[in-house]
Amino acid sequence: MNLPNFLSLLRIILVPVIIIFLIQESYKEALITFTVAGLTDIFDGLLARALNKQTKLGAFIDPMADKLLLASSFISLSVIGLIPSWITVIVISRDFIIILGMIILSVMSIKYEIKPVFISKVTTVFQLATIFLALLYQAVSHDISYRWIEAFCWITAGLTVASGVIYISRGIRYLNQANHAS
């Protein structure tokens, strides 16, 4: 267990804390905790590269921590009505489709490389920003316009769909290559 992996693990541990704060309508605390969790996402990767501490464990738990944080936050915020449910459906569906594709490739014994594309990183930033803005909106007595949240939802949806299409096309390419090799 090194520092970058600890930060990823901390992000996983903070997920239920955020949900509890949301259930209790403690939006400022949820915002602070979510911000800390988001910062661990930034620093775990930077530290892993800077300290040359990239591990197989880190390659597994970092994206897992991201998915848990984002999925639980989107679901919670849509259930309590802070963001529209359609954005949650888009975010969760894309991740489900990607995981399903990985399972299919694995079951078919097709080798594939898990390598995030640039748009996926941008998508994650916008997903985090959408959640952050929704929490900020609720935590500061609506001092910001809800239109910002709506705009971020639409941009996030577009990026999420676009990155999903890229991953689907990548999976289809792996399938086609395997069929041609047979």
Q: What is the CATH number of the domain that holds 118?
A: 1.20.120.1760
Please count the structural domains in the chain. Answer: 1
Q: For residue 82, what pLDDT is reported?
A: 95
DSSP class of 82: S
Task: List the domain range (segments joined by +) for residue 64.
Answer: 3-181
- Residues making up the chain, counted from first to last: 182
Per run of 10 residues, the mean pLDDT along the chain (length 182 residues) is 91 97 97 96 87 85 92 97 97 95 93 86 94 94 84 97 95 90 74
* 6-35 CB burial, b ≥16 within 10 A, e <16: ebbbebbebbeebbebbeeeebebbbebbe
Q: For residue 129, what pLDDT is reported?
A: 95
Q: For residue 154, what pLDDT is reported?
A: 98
Q: For residue 145, what pLDDT is reported?
A: 86
Element holding 162 (H helix, E strand): helix 146-181
| Residues contacting residue 171 through CB under 8 Å, at least 6 positions apart | 101, 104, 105, 112
Q: For residue 142, what pLDDT is reported?
A: 73
